[in-house]
Every structure is written in structure tokens, then in C-alpha cells.
Amino acid sequence: MCFFKKYKYWIIIILIVVLAVAIDLLTKSYFFEKELDLISGVISIFFIWNPGAAWGILGDSTIFLILFSIIIIVGILIFNNKFKQKTVFYSIGIGLVIGGAIGNLVDRLIFGAVRDFISLDFLSFINFPILNLADAFLTFGAIILVINFLFFYKEDKSFKKSE
């Protein structure tokens, strides 16, 4: 059996993770301490340090957030290893979630806080948090996984008891 065919979904996941982490860390460095109005009233660059999670939740809990991130990443990898119905769509979702988690984990390990810089100004009426690409990757990856499990997942009926 061809190596690529056997490990196709793992290869996709690894490529997505590497790309997501690289893009996240590069953009965090590029926009470090910058302020730019990209589309007035819609989106801007406004750099902040975020010691917590979204909306500053768990603000001074860096150690907890580091451990939580590691546990989630390991849990996803274990789940992925056991999950049999892999597709390209599913693999992209898993890769984005892991890549986003690693991007923010790297910041927490190195700086003790996450570098956020994307301000969605059109959502300011709900006090929407400033975010980074790792946050976006996590969100889009989770959405992809939800869509995958709602619409494409086929329950394995071989494990159900016959009545």
C-alpha cells in the first residue's frame, strides 16, 4: 500500500497544522504593536496582549490555559487516531483546531500571554474581543467539525445491540 494513501489524512492534518501555526506566528510578529484602520468601521489592526482567553476570561490563569491547551491537543490526537471515518473535510477541521491551539499555546509558553491584533469593529456593539488568526483557525476548524458530524458522519450501526 502506498505510504501517501495509508497516511493521507494524517498528512493533511500535519500540513494544515504546520501552515496554520506558521501563518499565525508570522502575522502576530508582523502586526506586533501596530495600529491600522483596514476598512473603516469594519476591521482594523489593534495590537493587545491577552493574558486570558476570549473576552479576557481566566485573565491571570496562564498555567491553567497552557495545561488545558495541551490536554485538548492530546485528546484531539487520541480521538483522531481512533476515529475511522476520516475525510479531507474532517482532516482540515482537525488540522485547523490543532494549529490554532498550538499557535496560542506557543505565545503563552514564550510570552505568558497571547498576541491579539484583529479588531472586528462592526461587532463592537457586543464588545467582541480582539483576536488573532489562531482564534480564527480554531473557530473555523470547530465549525467544519460540527458540519462534518451533523451532515456527513454515518453512525456505525455494527455496535448497536439487536432488539
Would you please indicate which residues are annotated as catalytic (active-site) residues? 116, 135
If you write DSSP's letter for every residue of the chain in order, what string do you get? Answer: --HHHHHHHHHHHHHHHHHHHHHHHHHHHHTTT-EEEEETTTEEEEEEEESSSGGGTTTT-HHHHHHHHHHHHHHHHHHHHH-----HHHHHHHHHHHHHHHHHHHHHHHHSSEEEEEE-GGGGGGTPPPB-HHHHHHHHHHHHHHHIIIII----GGGSPP-
